Structure 1
Amino acid sequence: MNSEFTIAVHGLVLLAHRPDGMASSEEIASNVCTNPVRVRKVMSCLRKHGFVDTREGSGGGYKLVAKPADVTLASVYRALAAGSLAPSWCSGNPEMECVVGSNMRDVMDAVFCGADQVLASYLESITIAQMLSRIEARAKA
C-alpha cells in the first residue's frame, strides 16, 4: 500500500467534514502532516477521477464533488494504489534450472494479485462517509 492512498482518504474525509466541502492544498497538507506538493499530486489524481474539483484564486482550493456515502475506499484504492501490494523486486529468475528459482516470481505474482483482490473487496465495504462517522465517534469517546 502506498502513502498516496492514505493522503487521498485523509483529504477526502477532511473535505467531507468541512461544511463547504472546500480546503486548499496547504490546509489539507497541514492536516495530513505532509508537504503541499504531495497533496497537490494526490488531489490532481482525485480530480481526474471525479472525486474533487478545483477552484482557483482567493478562497480557492479543492472541493468535494462526490457524495461521501458513494465513495468507497476501493474506488480510491483503484484510482491511486491498485497493484501496490506487489513489491518492485521478486526473487528468482525464470532462466534458472532450479524449479523453485525459476517459478517463484510467477507464483508470488499470483499471491499478490489475489491479496490485492481481497483488499479491494474489503475496501469496497467502507465509504468516506463511514470513515468520517468513525472519526467523529472516536472524538466523542
Structure 2
Amino acid sequence: MNSEFVIAVHSLVLLAHRPDGMASSEEIASNVCTNPVRVRKVMSCLRKNGFVDTREGSGGGYKLSREPDDVTLADVYRALAAGSLAPTWCSGDPEMDCVVASNMADVMNSVFCGADRQLEMYFETITIGQMLSRINAKARA
C-alpha cells in the first residue's frame, strides 16, 4: 500500500469534516502530518479523477466535489494505488531449470493480483462518509 492512498483518504475525510468543505494544501498537510508538496501531488490526482475541485486566491484551496457517501475507498484506491500490493521484485528466474525458480514469479504475481482484487472488494464497502462517522464515534467515546 502506498502512502499516497493514506494521504488521499485522510484529506478527503478532513474535507468532509470541515463545515465549509474547504482546506488549503498547508492546512491539509498540517492535519496529515506531511509536507504540503506531497499533499498537492495527491490532491492533483484527486482533482483529475473528479473527487475535489480547487479554488484560487484568498480563502481558496480544495473542496470535495462529490458527496462523502458516494466515494468509496475502492474509488480512491483505483485512482491512486491499484496494484500497489504487488512487490516490485520477485524471486526466481523463468530461464532456470528448477521448477520452483522458473515459476515463482508467475505464481506470486497471481497471488498478489488476487489479494489486490480482495482488497478492492473490501474497500468498495467503505465510504469517505463512513470513515468520518467512525472518527466521530471514536471521538465521542
Classify the TM-score, shorter chain: over 0.9
Percent identity over the alignment is 82
Deviations 1:39-95 (A, max 9, x none): 000000000000001111111100111100000000000000000000100000111
Other structure's SS at 1:47 match: helix
Report the equivalent of 2:44.
44
Other structure's SS at 1:59 match: coil
Report the equivalent of 1:93.
93
Other structure's SS at 2:70 match: coil
Report the equivalent of 2:81.
81
Report the count of equivalent residues. 141
Describe how 1:1-141 pairs up with structure 2 within 5 A. 1-141=1-141
**TM-score, normalised to structure 2's length?**
0.99
C-alpha distance in 2, partners of 1:67/1:109?
Answer: 35
C-alpha distance in 1, partners of 2:41/2:96?
Answer: 41
C-alpha distance in 1, partners of 2:64/2:112?
Answer: 32
**TM-score, normalised to structure 1's length?**
0.99
Residue 101 of structure 1: how far off its partner (Å): 0.2
Deviations 1:92-111 (A, max 9, x none): 01111100000000000000
Deviations 1:2-59 (A, max 9, x none): 0000000000000000111100000000000000000000000000000001111111
Amino acid at match of 2:32: V
Amino acid at match of 2:37: V
Which segments of 5 or more consecutive residues in structure 1 lack a partner in the other structure? none
C-alpha distance in 1, partners of 2:109/2:40?
Answer: 32
C-alpha distance in 1, partners of 2:4/2:40?
Answer: 11
C-alpha distance in 1, partners of 2:133/2:112?
Answer: 31
* Root mean square deviation, CA, Å: 0.4
List structure 1 runs of 4+ shifted beyond 2 angstroms: none
